[in-house]
Amino acid sequence: MANPSFEHHRKLEPEMIRKTSVALAVAAGLFGVAAASAPAFAGANDGKVELGEFVLWDNSSYSGPIRDLAGGQGTGLDNYAGNGNFINTSTSIDDHANSIANYVQGYGLKAYTGSNLTGTAVTVLAFGLYNTNTSYAYVDLGALDNTLSSHKYD
């Protein structure tokens, strides 16, 4: 099963992230502001694949229109129906995803074929994790293509 690396979709520059963190810490010190370590939050629903998101693609092999949803512990979307389309399309995300990936570090999720977290579930691991039968990304949902209707993070 092929897994997309985050770098495949969007190049992150670790050195730039470190430099930005140092610059923010210095600025906070200059202005007497307490600096807290926090992850960068994704710009959900902007059509960009970013850390901190659960991404659904309309086509298999991570292709076609996408929908990027913010994610994390305790978050989810109980019912895809009426809750949005793939970016720049009129196609509802309900019952139309063919490939998915979880770009949230440290939290897995379950995606369900029914609304309100019912029906058959596919387990999606935290970003970057996979084993023989379970992964953080699925190039093709097989029998579950075009059936997902809800999800929730563990």
Classify residue 90: in a domain, yes or no: yes
**Tens digits of per-residue pLDDT, 4-50?**
544 444 433 333 333 333 333 434 443 343 333 334 456 788 999 99
What's the Cα-to-Cα distance from 98 to each of 80, 102, 143, rounded to whole Å? 14, 14, 10
With contact defined as beta carbons under 8 Å apart, do 51 and 42 qualify?
yes
Domain limits for position 96:
49-153
Would you state the structure tokens that stand for residue 84, as one six-digit string? 């949005």
Query: How far apart, in Å, do the first and last CA atoms of the chain sit?
Result: 23
Classify residue 2: in a domain, yes or no: no
Count the domains in the chain: 1
Classify residue 93: in a domain, yes or no: yes
CATH (domain of 71): 2.60.20.10
CA 138 to centroid of chain Cα atoms: 12
Classify residue 97: in a domain, yes or no: yes
Classify residue 118: in a domain, yes or no: yes
Average pLDDT score over residue span 45-59: 94
Q: What is the DSSP letter of 106?
A: T
Classify residue 10: in a domain, yes or no: no
Structure pTM?
0.73
Could you give the angle at the alpha carbon of 52 between the alpha carbons of 47 and 54, nearest 5°? 60
- Is 154's pLDDT higher than 80? yes
**C-alpha span between 43 and 124 (Å, rounded):** 21
Classify residue 130: in a domain, yes or no: yes
**C-alpha span between 154 and 146 (Å, rounded):** 23
